[in-house]
Amino acid sequence: MLTALKQAWKVLSANPTRTFLTTLGIMVGIATVILVLSAGAGFRELINSEIASSGSNTLFVAIKVPSANKARAGIPNTGNFGGLTITTLKQRDLEDIKKLPNVVNAYGVVTGQAVASYRDSQKSVVYLGASASRFSIDQSPLAAGRFYTDEEDAGGTQVAILGNALAEDLFGFDNPVGKLVRLDTRNFEIIGVYEASSGLGGGFDDYMFIPLNTAQKKMLGINYMIRAVIQLDNVNLSDVSAEQISGVLRHNHNITNPDKDDFLVATQAEVLGIFDTIFGGITLLLIAIAAISLLVGGVGIMNIMYVVVTERTAEIGLKKALGAKRSDILIEFLIESVLVTLLGGIFGILIGAGLSWILAYVASASGLAWKFTVPFYAIAIGFGVSAVIGIGFGVLPAQNAAKMDPIEALGHE
C-alpha cells in the first residue's frame, strides 16, 4: 500500500498543473461546504447569545393572525399583519400571567417609528416602549445614566434611554444624559445610554427606549401590546408554563379552539428552532450548489483518470506481463484517484476555514459577537466526501485499466 501511495504521488507531482486543474472543482465544492457549515455554527451561537440576552429563563409571547403558524408569526415588530391589526394582548393578560406559579416577572412591548431630533441633528428612529420590569429581565448594561422606574412607566413620564449608535448620531461625543430630545412632537429627557451591542444586526443600538405607558398613550394612542417576555423561576418547566400561559390568554381572549389562537407562546428552544428552520433551508440550498461543483469535479476526475489510463497503457501491460494481478492495477489507479480528491479536499478545507475566519473577522468588526469556528463534523464531511468522490468517480477508469489484455496493452503506442 505504501509503495502504491508513493507511486501515485510521483505520478501526480509530475504534472502539477493538471493535478491542480483536476482538483479545482473539488476544492471549490469542499470550501463551500466548510464555509456554509462554519457560518451555520457561528450563526447558531450568535442567535443563542441573542436569545440569552433576554434572560436565560424566559418565554416569549407574540401576537399573530389566528391559524398562522409559528414560523409565520415570528416575533413581530408591529401589530399589523397585511392590514389586519391584532389588539388583544393587554396589560390585564400580563397581570394574570404574573400570578402563575412558575412566573417571576413579565414585561410588555410596543414599537413605533418617528423622527428624533436634538438641535441640528435629526434621525428617523424606531422607539421601543417597554415596561420598567424589562430591566430586571434583560441583561444589557448601561454606559451612562439610569433605567426608568415603575412609577415613571405608570405615570407616562417622557423619559428615554438611547441605544449607543443613536446617542452618537444625535449627540456626537457629548453626554446625552439630562438633555432633551424631541421625538415627533414631544420632548423626552434622556436618562440613560446603553453600551454598544455585540448582537445580531447591532442589537438595539439605533433604538430609543421609552416607558410602555408613554408609548401607548402619548405616542401611539393604543392600549394593547405586540409582544411580551415572561421570566420563569424554573426553566425546566418551560413547557408546562407555556401551556398555563396559553390557557390564561385563551380565557382572557374568549378563545375555545386552540387553532384560532391570536397569540404565540414560544420557549427559547422554539425560537431557536424557528431560526434553525430558516437557516437550515438556506444551508441546504448552498450545499446543493456546492454539490453541483463537486459533481462537476468528480466528472473531471473520471475524465482525467481515463486519460491517465490511456497514457499508461504500455506500463499497465508491462506490469501485468510481470505478474501484476487485476486487483493490483485496480487498487493502484483507485489510490491515485482518491489521492487527487483528498488533495482537493485538504485545500478546500483550508480555503473554507480561511473564508470562515474572514467572515468572523468582518462580522466582529461590524459589532457582532461572531466567533470563528470550524466544527469537527465539517472537516470530517470534507474528507469523507472527497474520499467518496475519489472512489465513486475513479472506479470505472480503474476497472478499465485492470481489464486490459497485457499483449494488446504492450503493443499500444
Burial class (CB in 10 A: 0-12, 13-18, 19+), 351: middle
Phi/psi at 142 (5° precision): -90, 145
pLDDT of 53-77, one tens digit each? 555 588 889 888 886 555 445 444 4
Give Dmax (Cα) for the chain.
101
Burial status of residue 283 (CB atoms within 10 A of its CB: 0-12, 13-18, 19 or more): middle
The x, y and z cell numbers of residue 195, run together, are 453600551
**How far apart are alpha carbons 94 and 107 in whole angstroms?**
7
Nearest Cα residue to 69 out of 274, 371, 367: 274
Which helix (H) or strand (E) covers residue 412, if one does? none
Compute the mean pLDDT over every residue in the chain, rounded to the nearest whole number: 84
User: Residue 153 burial (CB < 10 Å; 0-12/13-18/19+)?
Assistant: buried
Q: What is the pLDDT of residue 41?
A: 81
Report the C-alpha gap between 173 and 167 in whole angstroms. Answer: 9
Question: Which residue in this structure is represented by grid cell 438633555?
Answer: 179
Spatial contact of 337 and 305, defined as CB atoms under 8 Å apart: yes
Cβ neighbour number for residue 83 with a 10 Å cutoff: 5
pTM over 0.95, yes/no:
no
Cα–Cα distance measured from residue 363 to residue 352, given in angstroms and rounded to the nearest whole number: 16
Per-residue tens of pLDDT for the chain, all 413 residues: 556 566 656 666 667 777 777 788 888 889 988 988 888 888 777 776 666 655 558 888 988 888 655 544 544 444 554 456 788 999 999 999 999 999 999 999 999 999 999 988 889 999 999 999 999 888 788 999 999 999 999 999 999 999 998 999 999 989 999 999 999 999 999 999 998 875 554 457 889 999 999 999 999 999 999 999 999 999 889 889 999 999 999 999 999 998 889 998 988 777 777 777 877 888 888 888 888 888 888 888 898 888 888 888 888 888 888 888 888 888 888 888 888 888 889 999 999 999 999 988 887 776 666 778 888 888 998 899 989 998 999 899 889 888 888 777 776 65
Element (H, E) at 225: none
Output the pLDDT for position 368: 64
- What single-letter DSSP state applies at residue 149? P
